[in-house]
Amino acid sequence: MALLEVDDLRVSFSTPDGVLQAVRGVSFSVDPGQTLGVVGESGSGKSVSMQAILGLSQGARVSGSARFEGRDLVGMSAGELRRVRGAQIAMIFQDPLSSLHPHYRVGWQIMEMIRAHDKVAKKQARRRAVELLSLVGIPTPEQRVDDFPHQFSGGMRQRAMIAMALALNPKLLIADEPTTALDVTVQAQILELIQRLQKEFGTAVVMITHDLGIIADVADKVMVMYAGKPMEYADKRTMYYKAHHPYTVGLIESLPQQGAAGDRLRPIPGLPPSLLRVPTGCPFHPRCRYAMDRCVVDEPPMQEASGGAAHRSACWLPPDLVGLGPDVALRREQVAESGRDASAQTATVAQSQPGRR
Amino acid sequence: MLRFLARRITFGVIVMWIVATVVFVLYFLAPNDVARTLAGREASPSTVEAIRHNLGLNRPLLTQYGSFLWKALHGNLGYSYINSVSVVTLIAQRIWVTISLVAGGAAIWLVLGVGAGVVSAIRPRSFADRATTGLALFFYSMPTFLLGEAFLLLLFFELHLAGLNWFPGSGYVSLAQSVGGWARHLILPWLTIALVTAATYTRLTRTSMLEVMGEDYIRTARAKGLTERRVTLRHGLRAALTPVVTQFGIDVGTLLGGAIVTENVFGLPGLGQLIITSILDQDLPTIIGLVLLASAFVVVANIVVDFLYAVLDPRVRLT
C-alpha cells in the first residue's frame, strides 16, 4: 500500500486580484522508503501542494484528498493534523538560516520538537538532540547543541534542520528545495546525508526541487509540475530518456550538457502563466513549440504514455512519441503541423500575444 | 560586555553633562538677577543677599560652573529656598509616587497593548482586529487630561453620588501605609496612563507580529507539530518583542521624569506635580534638579533597553 496517496488535490487562495489557483488537481503516490522528485519552475505549485497537505499554507482553500496510511489529511482536524506533523511527516525547507528560530539554541529547538510529541524528560530529550546532531555529522555535538543558529554555517544549519526533522523517526520527509540556498559542495553533502539517513531509517522522501540534476541523483519517481498541474509522471529513467511532454523535454534540453562546450543552451521561451488567469486548454500551450489547435481549447488529461511502467503525461501528442533527440523532435513537429489549421494558427498567435491586437 | 557598559555609561555621562551645561547657561547666565529669581517673588532683600553669597554668585563664572557641576556630581542638586528644603529631599519625598504610578501603568499598558496587538495580528482584517484597532486609535487620540477627567466623572463622581466609594478621586497612600489603599488610589491614574499609552504598543506589536508570523521559522514551528498557541507566543511574540522593548524603555524613562498631566488630574504628589509647582513658583534649583533627574532616567532607560536587546536576541553583541 502506498504511504501517501494524493488524489485531485486543489489549493486556491483568495487575493485582492481574484482567486489564485495555486494547485489545480494533483495526484501522485509515495511508497514507503521511496523517493518522489517533484520538479517545476517557481510558482508551479510544487511547494504549495506539499504544504497544503500538512495544513501549512495559511489561508488556503484545499480540496481533494491526501491519504497518509489510509487517513485523509485534508479533512483532518487541526489537532489531529498537528500530531501527524513533525512526528509522522517531517519537513525541511529551502533556507536553513531563516528556518531556524534565531533566538533559541539549536538543541532547544530539537528538544522542543521531541517534547511536542513524546512525553520525555528534558534530560532525555537533550541526550537525543546530541545523538541526532552527531548522526547528521555535526562535530562536537555536546557543545554545539547549546549554540545558536547564527553560530552555525549554512550547511550545518541544514544538517541541524535534518536532525530535527528526523528526531521522531518520521515515515515521510518532505524536503522543500533543501539545497537551493547552499554551496554546490555542501549541496552534495546534504543530499548524501538525506539518502544515507533514508536508507538507515526507511524514510520515504518527497524531494521538491527545480534542479533536474538533484532529481537524477536521488529520485525513484518524478513528477513534473507546471502552472499548478502535473505535466508528467514517471520513474526517473523514463523521465530522462523517454520523456513525453514537451515541457519535460524542454527542461531536460535546457540543462547544460557535460562535454558539450560551445553549444548554446536552449531555454524554454516565455514565462509561466499567472495563476490568477490560467490560459485555456493546456497551460503550457503559449510556450510550446508543438502547440496544436486543440491544445488551445482542450485541456489534456493525464494519460498513459509508452515510455515505461506507470508513465503518464498530460499532452495531446501521440503517447508513443517519447524520448529526446532530433528524429523524435522532427516527428513531433510533423504531428503538430498536421494538428494545425492555417487559419486557426493565426488565431492562436493572436490569442497568445494579446498585446499585438 | 564590560566595555559596552563602560562606553554607554561614559556616553550617558556626556549627555548629562551637556544637559547640565545647557541648564546652567539658561538659568545662571540669563540676563536677570539669578539670586532674586532663585529666592522667589516674595523673598526679602536679605534672603536674596544670603543666596547670592551661598551660590557664590560674586565668584568668577567658570568657578561657579565648576562648583555647580561638582555639587551635582555628588548628588547635591541645591536648595529650594521656597520650600526651605534641599532639592534632593524634595525629590525623594515624591519620587515613589511617580514610580508607583509609572510601574503600575506600565504593567497594565504592556499587558493590554501587547495582548491586543497579538490578538489583532493573529487574524488580520477580522472583526477582532478592526475592533482592537478602533479602540486603540480611540484612546490614542484622546488627550490624557480628558480621559482622566472622564474617569473621574464616571468612576469617581457618579459612583460617589450613587453611594459607592470604590475609587478615590485624588490623593495618594504610600505602599508602606496600606497596600489596598495604595492600589485603590492609583487604579484610575493607572488606567488613564495605560489606556493612552497602550495604543502605541498595540500598533507596534501588531505590525511586528504580522511580519514575524510570515517568517520561515514560524512555518518550521508549525511543521514541528507545535500547538498554534505555542507557535504564536513562544516563537512569534518572542521575536516580535524587540521594537516593543525599545518603545517601553523610552516611555518608562520619559514618564519617570514626571507624568505631569496624570499626576495633576488625580492630585498625585509626584514629580510631575513638583515640576508644575516649581515652574509656577520659579523655584529654579528644583527645576534644574528635575531636568537633570529626567535626563538621567532617559539615559539609564536607554542603557537598560540595549541590555534587554542582547538578552532577547542572542545575535546582538554588546560591544
Cα radius of gyration rounded to whole Å, chain B: 24
pLDDT tops 60 at residue A348: no
Strand order in the sheet with A229-235: A89-92, A172-176, A204-209, A35-39, A221-226, A229-235, A312-313, A303-304
Average pLDDT, chain A: 89
Question: Which chain B residue shows the shortest CA-CA distance from A57?
Answer: B219
Spatial distance between the Cα atoms of A293 and A341, rounded to a whole number of angstroms? 7
* Closest CA of chain B from A78, distance in Å: 9
pLDDT tops 80 at residue B239: yes
Spatial distance between the Cα atoms of B274 and B239, rounded to a whole number of angstroms? 40
pLDDT of residue B50: 83
Calculate the CA B136 to chain-centre distance: 20
Residues A213-231, mean pLDDT to the nearest whole number: 92
Which percentage of chain B shows pLDDT scores above 70? 96
pLDDT of residue A58: 84
Inter-chain CB proximity A103 and B239 less than 8 Å: yes
pLDDT of residue B157: 84
pLDDT of residue A356: 41
Task: Please tell me which residue, B6 or A343, carries the higher pLDDT value.
Answer: B6
pLDDT of residue A32: 95
pLDDT digits (tens, 9 = 90+) for A314-346: 999 999 999 888 889 999 999 999 888 765 554
pLDDT tops 70 at residue A148: yes
pLDDT of residue B312: 85
Contact A85, A171 (CB under 8 A): no
Q: Is A299 helix (H, G, I), strand (E, B) or coil?
A: coil
pLDDT of residue B34: 66
Inter-CA distances, B251 with B118, B139, B245, Å: 20, 16, 10
pLDDT of residue A350: 44
Under DSSP, the state recorded for B235 is I
Sign of CA dihedral A271, A272, A278, A279: positive
pLDDT of residue B83: 82
**Amino acid in position B27:** Y
pLDDT of residue A269: 84
Q: pLDDT category, B167, cuts 50, 70, 90?
A: confident
Interface mutation vs chain A, best among B211, B217, B315, most A CBs within 10 Å = B217
pLDDT of residue B78: 81
**C-alpha closest to that of A45 among A267, A252, A211, A272:** A272
Maximum Cα–Cα distance across chain A = 76
Cβ-proximal residues to B107 (8 Å cutoff; 6+ apart), any chain: none
Inter-chain CB proximity A98 and B312 less than 8 Å: no
Contact B96, B174 (CB under 8 A): yes
pLDDT of residue B8: 85
| Tally of helices (H runs) and strands (E runs) in chain B | 15, 2
Contact B35, B59 (CB under 8 A): no
Report the residue from A93, A116, A148 with minimal CB separation from B216.
A93
DSSP calls for B147-208: HHHHHIIIIIIIHHHTT---S-SS----TTT-HHHHHHHHHHHHHHHHHHHHHHHHHHHHHH
Report the residue from B217, B223, B313 with minimal CB separation from A56.
B223
pLDDT tops 90 at residue A37: yes
pLDDT of residue A357: 39
B contact set with A (CB within 8 A):
215-217, 219-228, 230, 235, 238-239, 312-315
pLDDT of residue A355: 44
**Amino acid in position A224:** V
A148 interaction partners in chain B (CB closer than 8 Å): 314-315
pLDDT digits (tens, 9 = 90+) for B76-105: 888 887 788 899 999 999 999 999 999 999
B195-212 in b/e form (b: 16+ CB < 10 A) is: bbbbbbbbbbbbebbbeb
pLDDT digits (tens, 9 = 90+) for A157-190: 999 999 999 999 999 999 999 988 888 888 899 9
pLDDT digits (tens, 9 = 90+) for A70-106: 999 998 999 999 999 999 999 999 888 899 999 999 9
3.90.220.20, 1.10.3720.10, 1.20.5.510, 3.40.50.150: CATH of B88-312? 1.10.3720.10
Query: Strand B79-80 to strand A35-39: parallel, antiparallel, or no bridges (unpaired)?
Result: unpaired
Residues B199-220, mean pLDDT to the nearest whole number: 94
* Closest CA of chain A from B53, distance in Å: 60
| Range with the largest mean pLDDT of A140-154, A271-285, B147-161 | A140-154
pLDDT of residue B28: 67
All structural domains of chain B with their residue ranges: 2-73, 88-312
Q: Which pTM does this prediction carry?
A: 0.83
Spatial distance between the Cα atoms of B94 and B199, rounded to a whole number of angstroms? 28
Residue entry with cell 485531485: A8
Spatial distance between the Cα atoms of A224 and A241, rounded to a whole number of angstroms? 14
Which percentage of chain A shows pLDDT scores above 70? 93
Inter-CA distances, A106 with B62, B86, B217, Å: 59, 56, 12
Task: Please tell me which residue, A258 or A315, carries the higher pLDDT value.
Answer: A315
Q: pLDDT category, B31, cuts 50, 70, 90?
A: low
Q: What angle do CA B224, A23, A292 make, to 5 degrees?
A: 150
pLDDT tops 90 at residue B251: yes
| Alpha helices per DSSP H over chain A | 46-53, 78-84, 96-99, 106-117, 122-135, 141-144, 154-165, 184-201, 212-218, 236-241, 246-253, 293-297, 326-338, 342-352
* Closest CA of chain A from B162, distance in Å: 51
Q: pLDDT category, B319, cuts 50, 70, 90?
A: low
Neighbours of B155 (CB within 10 A): 17
**C-alpha closest to that of A295 among A329, A257, A249, A341:** A341
Interface mutation vs chain B, best among A54, A82, A89, A150, most B CBs within 10 Å = A82
B223 interaction partners in chain A (CB closer than 8 Å): 54, 56, 85-86, 90-91, 93
